[in-house]
Amino acid sequence: MYLNQYWKDERLAFNAFALWSDNPNEQTGEIMIEDDGANDVITLSGDFAEKIWVPDTFFANDKNSFLHDVTERNKLVRLAGDGAVTYGMRFTTTLACMMDLHYYPLDSQNCTVEIESYGYTVSDVVMYWKSTPIRGVEEAELPQFTIIGYETNDRKEKLATGIYQRLSLSFKLQRNIGYFVFQTYLPSILIVMLSWVSFWINHEATSARVALGITTVLTMTTISTGVRSSLPRISYVKAIDIYLVMCFVFVFAALLEYAAVNYTYWGARAKKKSKKTKEAERKVFGKTEKASCSSDDIIELQDIRLSPIASLRNRHYANTITTSDSVDSAKFPPSFRIARSYGSSTRSGLRYRSTRGQCRPKMLHAIKRGASVIKASIPKIKDVNVIDKYSRVIFPVSFAAFNAGYWIFYVLE
């Protein structure tokens, strides 16, 4: 950057040329001043600035600056005969610019150059822009931005040490998107399209489809990490974050689609196998039941502790079987005739069962019933290839609709 400052110091006025004219009628000569010295200019080295008064100008939003000194310090002092001083220098500076990155990388920013006197207040020095304040902006080229326009203004800043004059040069910058298209957007689109290849692979090729899905997910994670590493750690969501997250969702959904296909396929096979097994067990059980019913053997449980009823399992009776209180065995099936013993202390052996545990079975029953209703509402898929056929259409259409909405919103905004 080149910074030139102009002011007038009458103490430095001078007249470099004086014309002597000889009058033939007089023997004495006189000085004829043809020029007042306003057009006389002397260029001096930058070190001469240490011997005269110069303004203490600084950049209010400066972060890091340095003056070029090859081969000499890049400074100049130019004096005019009427005391006008031109003080110029060449330096490189890094200025702070508060950016709004909600639309990054499809954003535009306003960055300013703030020039101010450090010690002299408005009562000492008044700074203002010249009629042509800046030159060379039209030819300037930046790697990441395009300068759309600029404007200058001046205002007074009230600080703790006084009121100072501040000059501002504001640039309107539009970010170039070409780099991000080739480094982020295009690779993300290709990775999402690559995840759709699994829809055309046979559902029985588990290793191929799982490997493809996991590879695309990890690739999208790597791209997202690389983009975030070059940005400041800000909390709000940027435009590129929305795009990468949606690409990650599409890739992850393609992997979940195969999980659904695989579960549907192998679940149906398992159900068929279990039905066949149950039918075979029923046939075998029917044969054994007929054989058991034909026999006249009756299993009698002599000890009440062997009862299948939980409340009677741990009872203990001391009395023996009496013939007067015996239960008619004809009322029970042949395989469940129990020789029961009743005594005088039958009431004392009963246990009280609490109803606290009944709430849990009711809750579990309600959950199971709700799950069964949801399961019944899900349409049954006889052929798992139907899922892949629908996915071949739904995924591309959804991704195309997302891209259309994304670019229309951020570009036209």
Q: What is the pLDDT of residues 14-52, one digit of tens each?
A: 875 543 444 444 444 444 444 555 578 888 888 888 899
Q: Could you identify the residue written with the tokens 């191929």?
A: 208
Cα→Cα distances 90→3, 46, 73, 75, 313, Å: 7, 11, 9, 7, 102
Average pLDDT over the chain, rounded to an integer = 79
Q: CB within 8 A of 192, min separation 6: which ones?
A: 216, 247, 250, 251, 399
Q: Which residues on neighbouring strands pair with residue 43, listed in sequence order?
A: 78
Q: What are the structural domains, with CATH classification, of the chain? A: 1-21+38-96 (2.70.170.10), 97-175 (2.70.170.10), 179-270+390-412 (1.20.58.390)
pLDDT band with cut points at 50, 70 and 90 for residue 289: low
pLDDT tens digit string along 96-149? 999 999 999 999 999 999 999 999 999 999 999 998 888 888 888 888 899 999
Residue 143, classified by CB atoms within 10 Å of its CB into exposed (0-12), middle (13-18) or buried (19+), is: exposed
pTM of the model: 0.66
